[in-house]
Amino acid sequence: MTGRVKSGPTRIEVEIEKSREESNWIKVIELAEQLKDKSPDLEWPPVEANVHRAKIGLIDAKRYLNLVITEAGIKAGVAMDAHLLLGKLLQYVGQYSETLKAL
């Protein structure tokens, strides 16, 4: 063994992305289950110890989504997706009035 840390997406992750682009949602779900079974260390169950990690991740996600919702994001064609994801994120954290503003 070389002891190298694997970087980049796995084969399953590439297949998931390909299936998402093709809107093959049944295959996406099947592949996600396979990925979950093969890599249980990627999951962090909703326990008190993981709450802080989740909050930090959501703050980062919100910051990145707000960066995409710009004129450059509109030109790149990703601003609409960013708006929708931001709306979902705000809904999940209970900021309902902000959710309506984002959409």
Q: What are the DSSP calls for 47-58, one per residue?
A: -HHHHHHHHHHH
- Sorted by where each begins, the domain ranges of the chain are 11-42, 48-102
pLDDT one-digit tens code per residue, 34-61 = 888 877 666 666 677 777 777 888 888 9
Give the distance between the most distant pair of CA atoms in the chain. 53
Instruction: Please give the structure tokens belonging to residue 75.
Output: 């030109």
pLDDT for the residue 4: 46
Higher pLDDT, 42 or 88: 88
CA geometry: angle at 18 spanning 25 and 45, to 5°?
60
Handedness of CA 53, 36, 16, 19 (dihedral sign): negative
- Helix-helix angle 79-92:48-68, to 10 degrees: 150
Identify the pLDDT of residue 96: 83
10-20, pLDDT tens digit by residue? 888 899 999 98
Is pTM beyond 0.85? Reply is no
Q: What whole-number distance in Å separates Cα of residue 59 and Cα of residue 76?
A: 23
Half-sphere exposure of 78 toward its Cβ, with a 13 Å CA cutoff?
11
